[in-house]
Each structure stands twice: as C-alpha cells, then as structure tokens.
Amino acid sequence: MKHIIYSLFFISLAFFSCKKNELGGTGIIKGTVKHHAKIIGKAIVYIKFNAKEFPGTNVSLYDDKVVADDLGNYKISCYKGDYYLYATGFDDDVPPPSIVSGGAPVKIRNKETVEIELAITE
C-alpha cells in the first residue's frame, strides 16, 4: 500500500509541475520591439517566468531570451502563466551609447496568442 501512495505522489507531482519554467507550450507571445515609432531590429527580448512585476535591468535575472528579427518581430511559445518581457536594443537616433530598453508584463492562458508591442525607451 505504501508503494502505491508513493507512486501516486510522484505521478501527481510530475503532472502538476506543468513545465512553468521553460519555453514551449501552446501559448504564444508575439509582437514588435519599437522605440517610439522606430522599429528596433535584432533587439534581445528577455523573459522572466512567473513574474508580474519588473525584475530589473540585470539580464541575468531573466530565465530565457529570444532575438527579434530585422523588422523587430519576436515570437515566444510558452505555457500558461505570468511573464515579464524586457527588451534591449540599439537606436542610432539616440546619443551614444544608443541603448534603448523597456518591458511589459503579460499573462498567457492555454492556447492563447497575445500580441504585445514592446515600447522601449532610453
């Protein structure tokens, strides 16, 4: 009987731990990184899992990242949950070092696509 209880415990633990700390899943976050109206190509979009508030500018605090294409478009497949996106990039119209950054929280439900334009500033 003890073996059955332990087996059920580990099976339920595996089932309910739902991959909340990795990319993948049926939810999609996508959008464009822009500084005002200017597209920021090749911006790096960092993602923090299980976060509703800004974790800070230290990118080592984030769990993963994707690189936007030349047109500033990014796409992240994820599981349902709360995430914080933080993007950094370069805008030559800004005085050196020309770095722009910013972010936004996003909530994903199962099989949902959320479009979010990441408006970044100096």
Choice between 8 and 41, residue whose per-residue pLDDT is larger: 41
How far CA 44 is from CA of 12, 94, 104, in Å, comes to: 36, 18, 14
State the pTM of this model: 0.82
The answer to whether 48 touches 22, Cβ cutoff 8 Å, is no
The pLDDT-based confidence of 22 (bands split at 50, 70, 90) is: confident
- Ordered by start, the domain boundaries in the chain are 22-120
The answer to whether 117 touches 31, Cβ cutoff 8 Å, is yes
Token pair belonging to 62 = 């984030």
Architecture of domain 22-120: Sandwich (2.60)
Token pair belonging to 4 = 């059955």
The answer to whether 106 touches 78, Cβ cutoff 8 Å, is no
Give the Cβ contact number of residue 39 at 10 Å.
Answer: 17
Condensed to tens digits (0 to 9), the pLDDT of residues 49-62 reads 999 999 999 999 99
Condensed to tens digits (0 to 9), the pLDDT of residues 57-94 reads 999 999 999 999 999 999 999 999 999 999 999 999 99
CA distance linking residue 39 with residue 20, whole number of Å: 31
CA distance linking residue 41 with residue 54, whole number of Å: 23
